Amino acid sequence: MPEKDFAPIENDYAFFMAHATEAESDIVAYQRELADFLLDRTSIRMLDFGCGNGDFSAPLLNALNLPPEVLYLSLCEPVTHQLDQAAERVARFSHHSVETLEDVSSAKDQQFDLILSNHVLYYVQDLSQTIGEMRRTLQPEGKLAFAIANAENVIVAIWKAGFALINQPVPYYMSEDVQRVLAEQGFAVQKTEAKFQMRFPDSEENRMKILRFCFGHHLEGIPLPQLLGMFDPYQQDGTIVIDTYSDHLLAELKPEG
Ligand SMILES: C[S@@+](CC[C@H](N)C(=O)[O-])C[C@H]1O[C@@H](n2cnc3c(N)ncnc32)[C@H](O)[C@@H]1O
């Protein structure tokens, strides 16, 4: 089981997605950073690592508008019913059958041109091992494209404050960890930022939805009144409004030398 099981919190994640501009902002960032790399290729082998139910993958592929005969898609997602849903949703973007993987280590012989992972690397068990698997399955000229929150992000600040209430460090990785591991494994990284807004009608139930998404099974052990109160500074006339940003990391292997 991954560190954070998204099956029990899928409705809470859907609520976050429906009330944040994060996905739109990430799509614009990927379009910008991948435009040159994707231009005029005769084939693109792409892995979407941690695709969820395809709610993000499908609009992303729609926006990238790649010729379907050129695109070979692989999806990796531990929640199996979401993996199946995602495979159905993205099938129309490729003329080739979509490969589904529950674990990236089962990608045996692939050589991907692009491994994209949108807000997933927080939750892997061992970041060095996961990036090592990506390195193993990446073409020498291939790219890694990640979106991941950094230590300044408001959700990360809520994680830190929440886990501090039970004297625990945040059990998830963030952008700074990913940048360190990429450098250790010989990648050159370009970093940009994607700003987004979270906006939802203020109610205890809506605050709870975001908290369940943020903390998963850890929520049971954390005192709720303090956690619910963390939204107070973002209350504006009955609406919670949070402006924040995440990092986009575009990485490629440095030439050996
Ligand atoms: C925040 S969601 C992002 C989903 C999708 N990429 C998107 O942008 O909507 C995180 C996803 O990572 C998946 N995940 C968690 N641990 C994983 C792991 N070890 N390997 C691959 N995916 C994982 C979860 O099941 C979940 O679908």
Q: How far is the CA of 130 from the centre of ligand 1 (A)?
A: 13
Mean pLDDT on 165-175: 96
Res 257: pLDDT: 58
Sign of CA dihedral 80, 1, 103, 251: positive
Mean pLDDT on 193-207: 98
Domain boundaries, the chain: 10-253
- Residue among 21, 27, 123 to mutate when testing ligand 1 (max atoms within 8 A of CB): 123
pLDDT digits (tens, 9 = 90+) for 72-86: 999 999 999 999 999
Regarding the beta carbon of 249 and ligand 1, being less than 6 Å apart is answered: no
pLDDT digits (tens, 9 = 90+) for 21-72: 999 999 999 999 999 999 999 999 999 999 999 999 999 999 999 999 999 9
Mean pLDDT on 243-256: 96
Q: How far is the CA of 237 from the centre of ligand 1 (A)?
A: 33
In the chain, pLDDT over 70 holds for what percent of residues?
Answer: 98
Res 1: pLDDT: 45
Regarding the beta carbon of 51 and ligand 1, being less than 6 Å apart is answered: yes
Higher pLDDT pick, 98 / 256? 98
pLDDT digits (tens, 9 = 90+) for 209-229: 999 999 999 999 999 999 999
Res 104: pLDDT: 82
Mean pLDDT on 136-154: 96
What value does the mean pLDDT of the chain take?
95
Q: How far is the CA of 256 from the centre of ligand 1 (A)?
A: 32
Q: How far is the CA of 201 from the centre of ligand 1 (A)?
A: 26
Res 2: pLDDT: 58
Q: In whole angstroms, give the CA distance from residue 184 to residue 131.
A: 10
Q: Look at ligand 1, atom 25, and give the residue with the nearest C-alpha.
A: 6
What is the token pair recorded at 228? 């619910």
Ligand 1 atom nearest residue 79's Cα: 25
Ligand 1 atom nearest residue 6's Cα: 25
Q: How far is the CA of 220 from the centre of ligand 1 (A)?
A: 21
Core vs surface per residue 79-109: b (16+ CB within 10 A) or e: beebbebbbebbbebbeeebebbeebeebee
Res 106: pLDDT: 78
Res 107: pLDDT: 76
CATH of domain 10-253: 3.40.50.150
